[in-house]
Structure 1
């Protein structure tokens, strides 16, 4: 088995899967995170292929391999957490690990390029390496925990997907640790084994994303075709729609799902285990909404009005309130707010707070 062949296969597969994520029409955060992971894996493979020809410059390529276990942790949260899966603190932790990896690779480049050999540099390198190993190990455990967390309350298909994730990463970690012991004296064979394990992880994650997002869309298409061919009685249809409308309102309002960023019809359909077209139909017929986004923005704007008029939150910026209400940035928040109220968030706050002080 030629090591270069395996590394080249890993490079080709990771780039192919990366491009596949970019072609997904209805992207979720999971697709973006998986694309970043694939890009990082391709840098790992490229570094191994170029180690003999580029010399110290291989470590500059290695700087790009900084989004592996940390990106998988963010991906696991996106897949298995319903509310607020990723926040600033999570990005900060992931960025810290990425920065440590880049610093290590930069240190290796500097020492090999300029033959630096200061005593303090070896101590610094050791501390960076130990910190990276510690944080990476914790992140791997947290990734596994995300699949375990809420397992009992998950629905049948969600449980199956969690099991696939746990088997994939449990097997990958066990196999890689075993390989480091078996091939301790053969680094070339160890690198080949790690590349093969990584290929298996890529294939498993790609299938998991397809299963979680795209197979559900295909199932919706089949169910829609069946619904069009069958003709149930009008009272039955009306009762089913009213029941589903209650479930949608309970999920969005009572459980505050409308505050989740990047919320899509597919997320609600998956949670309630019904086709997407039924959600859209009920929103139009029972909840008098033009579409899903309009309904969600109405809930978010009403929530924002309460926050803007709250004296205890007057020090909160408009951006922070928009983010808290589920908007991706201040621009969409301001446009939606003005569409439904006729004023900007700042104007609404200026009118509301003085009125409360006078009272």
Structure 2
């Protein structure tokens, strides 16, 4: 390995370890940092593992690096979910996928059948594609403009490089660690990692300007946040028009409502509408924003004694949900109750209040000084 290549790989490793350290310090309060730290550490280990001559090192030195490096595809899958899916929660199968890759990597350090390499490659490709799916699938409803742009770069560049690296290991001896391409590989890794570090810092700063909490309440301004800057001029007029079509025209009742269709109704560009909802109303996800209005309407209907006989499916469809499944899940997340439990609780409370007023009698409404008259 040349001095230039050693410097490039060393610089990339330093950048990644610094980012992993910074992310680890924020891991308790930030889910993205919690999963970005092991991803950065894993990529740093891969840079070391893919260096020429790594296979000649003592087994006791190779195994720890190989273990950390092996989990990169699974760590990428998890980190992309945390970064680009606001409602992401780690599941048991995420841990199982990481453990499977680590186990296969350990077997790879010793004599093993070809099937081990095939299974490891298949799992790695699957996890990388799942990570790319996380990055791309929610782009249409993402209201954080900088994060929308970053989705494509993360998915395309990372998956393309990883697939080339995996294919090279099968196509020629040594893969990207072979002497003819090793230096170019190190330079490419360094450039990509540096660019991602810069872009990640910019997007993190931009995201922090907008309210970080997901909002589902149909309020012009969330109670726990304020806009980055008060709406003035044309933006104030656009905000008023948005509130009008939601509060008066009830456009949220349209099951297929999207950023594109709503921007057409308001006659403003999509990027302006995303900026308006994100920066002025504090929402990061268009579906969550619209569903807030739908759920509020459904709650009102389920609390109304006059609609006690209306089927829950009808209420869900009238509010704008396309089917009962998504409605039930969103309603349970918002209220902690199923729609039927919520209706039963609210109607029982309303009936109890009526009975209480009847038992006290009409004089109870006169006030505390009624007995003095």
TM-score range, shorter chain: 0.5 to 0.7
Tell me, yes or no, if structure 1 residue 12 matches structure 2 residue 14: yes
Cα distance change of structure 1 residues 85 and 205 upon mapping to structure 2, 3 Å threshold? farther
Equivalent position of 1:130 in the other structure:
118
| 2:88 aligned to which of 85, 90, 104 | 85
Task: Report whether the alignment pairs 1:203 with 2:205.
Answer: no
Question: What is the alpha-carbon distance in structure 1 between the residues aligned to residue 30 and residue 251 of structure 2?
Answer: 23
How much has 1:15 moved relative to structure 2?
0.4
If each structure's helix is expressed as a fraction of its own residues, which one has the higher value?
Answer: 1
Q: Tell me which residue corresponds to 1:101.
A: 101
**8 Å contact 2:12–2:44 — kept in the other structure?**
yes
In structure 2, distance between residues paired with 1:170 and 1:47: 19
> How many pairs are equivalent?
272
Q: CA deviation at 1:58?
A: 1.4
1:160 alignment partner, SS class: helix
1:60 is displaced (CA, Å) by 2.9
What aligned pairs does 1:35-50 form with structure 2 within 5 A after superposition? 35-47=37-49
Change in 2 beyond 3 A, CA 1:152/1:277: closer
Report the alpha carbon displacement of residue 37 of structure 1 after superposing the two structures with TM. Answer: 0.3
Match of 1:64 among 47, 56, 68: 68
**TM-score (ref. length: structure 1):** 0.53
Q: CA RMSD in A?
A: 5.5
What is the CA–CA distance in structure 1 between the aligned matches of 2:278 and 2:148, rounded to whole Å? 21
**Does the 8 A contact of 1:78 with 1:86 survive in 2?**
yes
Distance 2:64 2:118 in 1: 21
After TM superposition, the structure 1 = structure 2 runs for residues 200-349 of structure 1, keeping only pairs within 5 Å, are 200-218=191-209, 224=228, 227=230, 239=240, 273-274=275-276, 278-279=280-281
CA distance in 1, matches of 2:158, 2:281: 34
Q: Does 1:176 align with 2:176?
A: no
How far apart are 1:174 and its partner, in Å?
Answer: 6.0
Q: 1:149 aligns with which of 134, 137, 156?
A: 137
Write the distance in 2 (CA, Å) between the matches of 1:22 and 1:165: 21
| 1:215 CA displacement | 1.8
Q: What's the CA shift string for 1:229-283, capped at 9, x where partnerless?
A: x799x9x799579659959x999xx99xxxxxxxxxxxxxx99534877447xxx
Q: Determine the C-alpha separation between the residues in 2 that align with 1:157 and 1:24.
A: 21
- In the alignment, is the contact (CA less than 8 A) between 1:175 and 1:197 conserved in 2? no
**Deviation for aligned residue 1:213:** 3.3
Secondary structure of 2:70's partner? coil
* In structure 1, distance between residues paired with 2:82 and 2:22: 19
Specify the alignment match of 1:260 in structure 2: none
SS of structure 2 residue aligned to 1:64: helix
2:80 paired residue among 76, 79, 86: 76
* Partner SS state of residue 129, structure 2: helix
Higher Cα radius of gyration: 2
**Where does structure 2 lack aligned partners over 5 or more consecutive residues?**
212-226, 257-271, 283-291, 304-330, 349-373
Deviations 1:196-227 (CA, angstroms, capped at 9, x unpaired): 4443443344344334432244589xx746x4
Q: 1:56 to 1:21 in 2, by over 3 A?
A: closer
